[in-house]
A and B are shown apart, each in its own frame.
Chain A
Amino acid sequence: QVQLVQSGAEVRKPESSVKVSCKVSGGTFRSYAITWVRQAPGQGLEWMGGIIPVTTTVRYAQKFRERVTITADGSTNTAYMELRRLRSDDTAIYYCARGMQFWSGDYWGQGSLVTVSS
């Protein structure tokens, strides 16, 4: 049974950074695409980027390209998403997902709430 377990809720101040983790268990990690999606309050799903660990291919949405870094640690089957220079409109639930492509996540993490507030 594949499971993605994400790190817990975070509260950050504007201009700080946050790093969310996503540990994959029960299945293959390296050869799948790990994608990061967020949902801000009252908004739809927004793709941030993704990584394919076996090829170290990383892709980012243009909107986040200068502020986000996505990495993967094959030794612990864990992916990470770091978002820098946080703003209040980065307050959202952040999800990781595993799938054959970046847009076909069949297993999802439980979500990590990131709140940005002064």
Chain B
Amino acid sequence: QSVLTQPPSVSAAPGQKVTISCSGSSSNIGDNYVSWYQHLPGTAPKLLIYEDDLRPSGIPDRFSGSKSGTSAALAITGLQTGDEADYYCGTWDSSLSVVVFGGGTKLTVL
């Protein structure tokens, strides 16, 4: 059972937009920055978003992050088949003093 809650799967057609939610609490998302990762099993995770809504260099602006209260979201526009992957949110939990991840969301581009 993950501390952060994500939907197990989302799907959309190429070119469409999808949003992945990440729900937490006042001690984690509500108190700290959120990061988002794209992960293809067997490869290293890739940082997509840090500090809630910032993109590392090289990450296209099709990927955007947002946060409100104890929930965060990752939006992906102009979906491509290459976006099919698992997506994880992560942050620090101030009460537990540990990093917490969501359980991951599998994106399928139909």
Which residues on A are within 8 Å of B, measured CB to CB?
A: 35, 37, 39, 44-47, 50, 59-62, 93, 95, 97, 99-106, 108-111
Q: Are B99 and A50 interface neighbours, CB within 8 A?
A: yes
Taken together as a complex, chains A and B put the C-alpha atoms of A45 and B105 apart, in Å, by: 11
Q: Are A44 and B47 in contact (CB under 8 A)?
A: no
**Residues in B17-66 with C-beta less than 8 Å from chain A:** 32-33, 35, 37, 39, 41-47, 50-51, 56
Query: A45 with B47: in contact, given A93-B42, A101-B92, A103-B35 (CB under 8 Å)?
Result: no
- Which of B32, B35, B51, B97 contacts A59 (CB under 8 A)? B97
A-B contact count (CB 8 A): 71
**Distance of A44 Cα from B2 Cα, bound (Å):** 9
Interface size grouping (class) on chain B = 20 to 34
A44: nearest chain-B partner, CB-CB: B104
Report whether B96 and A62 are in contact in the complex, using a CB–CB cutoff of 8 Å: yes
Closest chain B residue to A110 by CB distance?
B44
Determine the chain A residues whose CB is within 8 A of the CB of B90 once the complex forms. 45, 47, 103-104
Given the known interface contacts A44-B86, A45-B88, the answer about A103 and B99 at a Cβ–Cβ threshold of 8 Å is yes
Q: Which residues of A contact B33 (CB under 8 A)?
A: 101, 103-104
Question: Within 8 Å CB of B37, what residues of A?
Answer: 45
Do B50 and A102 have beta carbons less than 8 Å apart? no
Please determine whether B98 and A59 come into contact, CB atoms closer than 8 angstroms. yes
Neighbour of A108 across the interface among B41, B45, B98, B101, CB < 8 A: B45
> Is there an interface contact between A61 and B98, defined as CB atoms closer than 8 Å?
yes
State how many angstroms separate the Cβ of B29 from the closest Cβ of chain A: 11
Q: How far apart are the CA atoms of A60 and B97 in the complex, in Å?
A: 9
Q: Is the CB of A104 within 8 A of B50?
A: yes
